[in-house]
Amino acid sequence: MRLVHAISATLFFALAACGEATAPTEADAQPAGAATAQGGDVTSAERSAILTALQLRSNGQGQVQNDCGEMVTPQFTVADLGSGPGRVIAFSIGGGPNMLTCYGDGALTTFMRQNNGAWGEIWRGSPGGAIVLSTQHNNGNDIATGGPGFSFPVSEWNGTTYVSANRTVADSALGDARFIPN
What are the pLDDT digits (tens) for 16-67? Answer: 333 333 332 322 323 333 333 345 799 999 999 999 999 999 999 999 998 8
Q: Evaluate if residue 111 carries a pLDDT over 80.
A: yes
Report which of residues 106 and 37 the model is more confident about: 106
Three-state SS for 148? coil
Question: What pLDDT is attached to residue 103?
Answer: 67
Burial status of residue 161 (CB atoms within 10 A of its CB: 0-12, 13-18, 19 or more): middle
Distance between CA atoms of residues 91 and 47, nearest Å: 9
* Under 8 Å between Cβ of 82 and 31: no
Report which of residues 21 and 73 the model is more confident about: 73
Confidence of residue 104 (pLDDT cuts 50, 70, 90): low
Mean residue pLDDT of the chain comes to 77
Which pTM value belongs to this model? 0.74
Q: Evaluate if residue 142 carries a pLDDT over 50.
A: yes
Going from N- to C-terminal start, the domains of the chain cover 36-180
Q: Would you state the torsion angle of the CA atoms of residues 94, 53, 45, 73, taken in this order, to the nearest 10 degrees?
A: -10
Nearest one of 139, 140, 136, 143 to 178, comparing CA atoms: 143
